[in-house]
Amino acid sequence: MSISWQLRLHSTRATERLGSQLARFMMGGEVVALIGDLGVGKTVLVRGIARGLALSPEQVTSPTFTLIHEYPGSVRLVHVDLYRIDDDTALRQLGLDEYYDEHTVVVVEWADRLASDLPPDHLAIRLEHVSLSTRRATITAHGPRSQKVLNQARASDRASRERGRARPNKDDVS
């Protein structure tokens, strides 16, 4: 059984905020499968995840040239891009298995290439273009660990909206 949360993001700040909102509830061991076109805000979302994990978001860049980026911290962030990999042998040789552990949040772009090799418990985030500045995010939790993160993030989002002053930054972790 998987649950989904869909929301509209009206700016890059909103995209970053979503990342940070989710990451605040990650303890390490989570896997995020990030799906979306070029220019849809994947790197921005990962910046938010870095912020939520109390890592400096400034250092996050797209893993375009080097396929795996690592950001050490009390919870480590690993950001992977599988866009150009299309053969199974290459995928296996990438050695992704070595990055999954209880102290690491692994974000995989184009995770559909992994198919059944993707850990069963993962949070799938799909970003889609709605207009030049607006995106639609669909977040689906697969497995209990991801579900917990999604529930907490959603509850916190709802609470801040109810307070009626859901401004970016205010409830971000410093």
Q: 109 CB contacts (<8 Å, ≥6 apart)?
A: 34, 35, 42, 63, 79, 80, 81, 82, 83
Spatial distance between the Cα atoms of 36 and 82, rounded to a whole number of angstroms:
12
Cα 153 from chain centroid (whole Å) = 12
For the CB of residue 9, give the shortest distance to other proteins in the complex, in Å.
14
Nearest residue (CB) to other proteins, 88 versus 161: 88
Residue 168 lies near other proteins (rule: CB under 8 A): no
Residue 58 lies near other proteins (rule: CB under 8 A): yes
For the CB of residue 145, give the shortest distance to other proteins in the complex, in Å.
21
Site mask, other proteins, residues 97-136, x = CB under 8 A? -x----x-------------------------x--x----
| DSSP state at residue 103 | T
| DSSP state at residue 115 | G
Residue 54 lies near other proteins (rule: CB under 8 A): no
Please, are residues 128 and 38 in contact by the beta-carbon 8 Å criterion? no
Q: How many CB atoms lie within 10 A of CB 22?
A: 28
List residues binding other proteins (CB under 8 A): 12, 37-39, 43-44, 56, 58-59, 61-68, 70-73, 76, 81, 83-85, 87, 90, 93-95, 98, 103, 129, 132
